[in-house]
Homo-oligomer: A and B are copies of this chain.
């Protein structure tokens, strides 16, 4: 699950939860966010050409659920959740202070796909809380504790234990092959 931060025309910060978000290129580092036109955030991103992607830890699951179920048209979601908007250094969008991993993105392309608009953003900066960075200097899955959305049952699920290094798994498959 991802929480998208944006400003509206008047500069009011807004948040929404989005499931259809993902990395799409490494050079330049880019991310896609797919939104229905009816969402308040859609209009905001069209206007400001910028957004943030905020990744929640399990402890923020209630907030992520909440901001996905009410509209910024009728509510100041930062006010009702008590979360803190911070103006991004690099782009015209707010990020959420309490979220441990944040990407600041500038829109480079928009693609229409039926019911949804896909915003392709270049990642201009990434902020990670010290508490979720591993010894190797990159975000650690076990410390970040992100979670995923299952649309069938409409539940959030945590991330489970490691199944192993990909290189080790591949080696074992090779040994077993005919």
- The residues of A with any CB-CB pair to B shorter than 8 Å are 19-28, 30, 32, 34, 58, 61-66, 68-69, 79-82, 108-109, 111, 113-116, 118, 120, 134, 136, 138-141, 147-150, 152-167, 169-170, 172-174, 176-178
Task: State the number of copies, please.
Answer: 2
Q: Assuming A68-B170, A116-B25, A136-B153, is B111 touching A163 (CB within 8 A)?
A: no
> What is the minimal beta-carbon distance from A157 to any residue of chain B, in angstroms?
5
Contacting residue for A162 out of B139, B156, B174, B178, CB 8 A? B156
Q: Could you pull out 11 A-B pairs where Cβ atoms are within 8 angstroms?
A: A22-B34, A62-B169, A62-B172, A62-B173, A69-B167, A80-B177, A81-B173, A155-B163, A157-B160, A158-B161, A158-B162
Per the bound structure, the CA–CA distance linking A111 and B119 in Å amounts to: 12
- The reply to whether A160 and B159 contact each other, CB–CB distance below 8 Å, is yes
Q: Which of B21, B58, B139, B152 contacts A163 (CB 8 A)?
A: B58
* In contact, A115 and B62 (Cβ under 8 angstroms): no
